[in-house]
Amino acid sequence: MHPIEPERMTEALRRAQELGAPALVVRTRRERSLRGPLAFYEASAHEPGEGAMNPMTESGWYWSVGDRGWMVGMGVVRQERLESGRADLTELSEVRRRWAEDVALGSLAHARVVGGAAFEGAPRGDRWGQAWRGWGSSQLWLPRFVATGRPNGEVVEVTWAMEVSPEDTLEDALTRAEIHDEVVDAWLDGVESRSRRMTRDQVGGVATEPDVARWGELVDESATRLGAGELEKVVLARTVRYDTTQKPQAREVIDRASHAYPSCAVFAVRPPRLGEVPARVLVGATPEVLARLEAGTVYVDALAGTAPADAPDEALLGSDKDRREHAHVVEFIQEKLDDTVKFGAIEGPLVDALSNVKHLRTPLRGELRDGGDVFTVGGLLHPTPAVCGRPREAALAHVLEAEAAIGFERGWYAGALGWATLEGDGELRVALRCALLDAEGADVFVGAGIVEGSRGELEIEETRLKARAMLGALSGDPS
């Protein structure tokens, strides 16, 4: 790649002086590579870089959606962790806009920011319990290096970003830019030399279900309140603990999940370090789009209603309970986005078949009316009835109270996770079918929608079906 011309870097330094604060320089190079996202993720854990250049000591980002492409990010140029204690995507929109205004050299369309928001604000301000330490209530960061690729495509784009400050000399700025290019070269070399086929051997482990009996009782109690007309729907979640005989590796989990769930968004995320202890890695394979924005077109999926994978489609489509649960989500999306998105004709629900379960899904498409970005659209919807309930505020209060009774803390499970360009296009997914890794195993998160007529014993079985997705990815045993 040709080095940055001194004249262009001089312009960037002049912009930093105008701002009286650091400005951003963004550079993109197109490379030919037959390697996929897993090879880039694997190489990012090993390849050189000194101090802040060492990718996985700061943060890691893996995102792959079957037929839509993939992204691997590493390192941190900027980050903002919101301290309000609220899971607010709208505030992230403001952060993105500020950072976009600071770009002095490079393309807004190539610079990616990543992050999202928890299901709900941390119960103690911005301090989670031990499991979610370092994640915050909502946060956004600009990776130092990002590789993006299309499925089965040979061309990969690699983008790096750095700051230049008003005090920088031209020589210092050009030298740092050259170092960034050298790190990209090392990363690309590592993709070819270090990438290996991930093993899919089974990993020994034991699954346990903390407080599952009490959780079933909470379902029955919630259904009684629904029958009394206090609520229309609530969603209760719980955890399945999987203790392994060896430390689980995120790259192996996402490799198995990618093969088992090719239509889902497979992700592995570790946010930037807060203090001395790095945050735990969240891995998952989520089928649910919260909001996607491409050139003014908004894509949203209503996903609710579940049946076993071997159930006939007609049984799910004809289930009164599942149709009512699904209708709540569709109506909610239309109500919340009525002033923001002009929707076209709605076709659905359809049956979305995964390897372990089937869902009812209604795709909604429309045009963004007046400005905004993917975070403003997602912020109007989060949290949806599919993961919270309806009416939202009453359901949220009930969910937090019920789950606190078993000491369960959702954190970013059922939160909003995704990416955006600095122009504002991007994709947010609901963080479902996911697990939080640690040295001894993982906490696997599952939930179920509760409406009038729900029964604890049946909802336990539904969550067990859902848990198979990540238990299979962790163990290598799809059964």
pLDDT tens track for 197-237: 555 567 788 999 999 999 999 999 999 998 788 788 999 99
pLDDT confidence of residue 175: 96
Judge whether 314 counts as a catalytic residue: no
Residues 6 or more apart from 223 whose CB is under 8 A from it? 450, 451, 452, 453, 454, 455, 456
32-41 residue pLDDT tens: 877 889 889 9
Q: What does the pLDDT average to over 11-15?
A: 96
- pLDDT higher than threshold 60 for residue 421: yes
Q: How many CB atoms lie within 10 A of CB 123?
A: 13
Q: What does the pLDDT average to over 389-400?
A: 92
- pLDDT higher than threshold 50 for residue 357: yes
Give CATH for domain 205-249+288-475. Answer: 3.60.120.10
Which is more confident, 235 or 246? 235
Domain ranges of the chain: 6-194, 205-249+288-475
- pLDDT higher than threshold 90 for residue 57: no
- pLDDT higher than threshold 70 for residue 246: yes
Cα angle at 381 between 112 and 75, to 5 degrees? 20
pLDDT confidence of residue 158: 95
pLDDT confidence of residue 65: 93
pLDDT confidence of residue 51: 39
Q: Which of 80, 232, 233, 462 is catalytic?
A: 233
**Residue 162: strand pairing partners:** 25
Judge whether 120 counts as a catalytic residue: no
Q: Which of 163, 252, 288, 409 is catalytic?
A: 288
- Helix crossing, 170-194 with 37-44: angle to 10°? 120
Pairing mode, if any, of strands 282-286 and 434-438? antiparallel
Q: What percent of the chain has pLDDT over 90?
A: 61
